[in-house]
Amino acid sequence: MIGIQVITHGKMASGILDTVDMVLGNLENIAVNELKREQDIETLRREVLETTNQLTSSDGVLIFVDMFGASPYNTSFINSREVNTDNYKIIAGVNLPLLMEAISNRSSMDINQLYTHLLGMREQSIIGWEK
């Protein structure tokens, strides 16, 4: 099963995962890492790598981060050199519909199909309405 890791600033990762658990229930092979206020980035990087290694299987690991170019993304990108799989993908801009879609489809798609599918959802996961 594809491992899923959510890495964010503050408590966003645990909050979004709690919501996903309310809707989908029983979440397996999913973990979070959260950058704490005043936390050293190298400490975060090591924590993220340890979690990634626990989640990695032959199916791979899919990393969701809150923002492109920020510490959660950068630590994941740097760690890609140390992870023992080529099935390692990062998606920046995690949101509830995207994460739920990933969890719901990770057993029916390989990591490359899932990654492409999720990137194709960009227009569907953020929708505006005006009066």
Q: Where are the domains of the chain?
A: 3-125
Chain centre to alpha carbon of residue 9: 13
**Average pLDDT across the chain, whole number:** 95
Tell me the CA distances in angstroms from 51 to 16, 30, 131, one per residue in order: 18, 10, 45
Region 5-33: what's the mean pLDDT? 96
**Per-residue confidence band for 123, with pLDDT thresholds at 50, 70 and 90:** confident
Asked whether the predicted pLDDT for residue 5 surpasses 90, the reply is yes
**Strands lying side by side in the sheet with 30-35:** 30-35, 3-9, 61-65, 88-92
Asked whether the predicted pLDDT for residue 128 surpasses 90, the reply is no
| 21-42 residue pLDDT tens | 999 997 999 999 999 999 999 9
Q: Where are the alpha helices (DSSP H) in 9-110?
A: 12-24, 41-55, 71-79, 96-105
CATH code assigned to 3-125: 3.40.50.510
| 89-116 residue pLDDT tens | 999 999 999 999 999 999 999 999 999 9
In this predicted structure, what is the pLDDT of residue 26? 79
Determine phi and psi for 105, rounding to 5 degrees: -110, 0
